[in-house]
C-alpha cells in the first residue's frame, strides 16, 4: 500500500514579501517523513480570501491530509478560519470551549480578553480543537484539514499533538554519498542506476570544495534492504 499523502498551505503576505522566512514547511516535511506520510505539495498564498479558499479546495480534494499555517491570530488580516469555514460551507462563531481556554489564560496573566483576542476563539461548526500548549489559542481540524498557527514554536507543538492521531505508512529512509566529480560526469551512470532501482529515488546535489566540483548523491526509499543495495552499487560505480 502506498503511503498517505499530504499537502501544506502556507498563508501570509509576509512570506511572499520575503519579510519572514518560513520554517514550518521544513519542520513538517521532516516529521511527516518519519511518520510515513508523503508531503507531496506545498503552496504559499497571500492573505486574500479567494486565494486561500481556492487553494484549500484544490489541495483537500487530492491529498489525504492538508496542513495550513498562518492567519489564525487576533488581527484584521487573520482570515484563515473564516476561509476554512467558507470552503466547507459551515458557519463560524466564537465557541464556548475555545473562549474558556482564552479566558483562563488571560485571567491568569492579568490581561483582558478583548474583542481582538476573542477572534482567536472563532471556530467553524463541527471542527475539533487542536491543543496549543505554547500560547493557548487553539488551532482546529475539520474534515481532512488541520489549521495551525504560523509562529514556529506553536506550529511545532500543534504538529506534535496531531501526528499520533494520523495513520502513517512506511517511513522514508535515506543514505548519501559524496562523490568528488561534477554532475556532468556522474549523470549517465546515475541514470542507469535509477533504472536498475525504479522503486527508489535518486537525488544529486552539487557542491564545490577547495575548487573541486562534487555532488552529494542521496538515495531514498521505504525498503532499507533496497536502499542498502543501491548504495553498494553506487559505491562500486564511483569507487
**Buried b / exposed e across 159-191, counting CB within 10 Å, b at 16+?**
beebeeeeebeeebbebeeebeeeeeebeeebe
Decide whether 5-165 matches 173-237 in CATH topology.
no
Cα 45 from Cα 200, distance rounded (Å): 32
Q: What is the pLDDT of residue 125?
A: 98
pLDDT in tens, 102-158: 999 999 999 999 999 999 999 999 999 999 999 999 999 999 999 999 999 999 999
Q: For domain 5-165, give the fold.
A: Molybdenum Cofactor Biosythetic Enzyme; Chain A (3.40.980)
- What's the whole-model pTM score? 0.85
Domain boundaries defined on the chain? 5-165, 173-237
pLDDT band of residue 42 (cuts 50, 70, 90) is: very high
Q: What is the pLDDT of residue 145?
A: 98
The residue-averaged pLDDT of 37-57 equals 97
CATH number of 173-237: 3.30.70.600
Asked if residues 102 and 137 have their Cβ atoms less than 8 Å apart, the reply is yes
Amino acid at each position: 500500500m502506498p503511503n498517505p499523502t499530504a499537502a501544506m498551505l502556507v498563508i501570509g503576505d509576509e512570506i511572499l514579501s520575503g519579510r519572514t522566512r518560513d520554517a514550518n514547511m521544513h519542520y513538517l516535511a521532516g516529521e511527516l517523513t518519519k511518520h510515513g506520510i508523503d508531503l507531496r505539495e506545498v503552496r504559499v498564498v497571500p492573505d486574500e480570501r479567494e486565494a486561500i479558499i481556492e487553494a484549500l479546495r484544490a489541495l483537500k480534494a487530492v491529498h489525504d491530509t492538508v496542513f495550513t499555517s498562518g492567519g489564525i491570530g487576533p488581527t484584521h488580516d487573520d482570515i484563515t478560519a473564516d476561509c476554512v469555514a467558507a470552503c466547507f460551507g459551515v458557519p463560524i462563531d466564537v465557541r464556548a470551549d475555545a473562549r474558556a481556554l482564552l479566558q483562563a489564560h488571560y485571567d491568569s496573566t492579568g490581561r483582558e480578553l478583548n474583542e481582538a483576542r476573542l477572534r482567536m476563539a472563532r471556530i467553524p461548526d463541527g471542527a475539533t480543537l487542536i491543543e496549543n500548549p505554547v500560547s493557548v489559542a487553539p488551532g482546529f481540524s475539520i474534515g481532512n484539514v488541520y489549521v495551525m498557527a504560523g509562529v514556529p514554536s506553536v506550529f511545532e507543538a500543534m504538529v506534535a499533538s496531531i501526528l499520533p492521531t494520523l495513520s502513517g505508512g512506511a517511513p522514508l529512509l535515506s543514505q548519501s554519498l559524496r562523490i568528488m566529480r561534477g554532475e556532468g560526469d556522474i549523470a549517465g551512470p546515475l541514470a542507469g542506476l535509477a533504472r536498475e532501482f525504479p522503486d527508489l529515488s535518486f537525488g544529486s546535489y552539487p557542491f564545490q570544495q577547495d575548487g573541486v566540483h562534487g555532488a552529494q548523491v542521496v538515495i531514498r526509499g521505504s525498503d532499507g534492504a533496497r536502499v542498502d543495495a543501491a548504495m553498494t552499487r553506487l559505491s562500486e560505480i564511483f569507487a
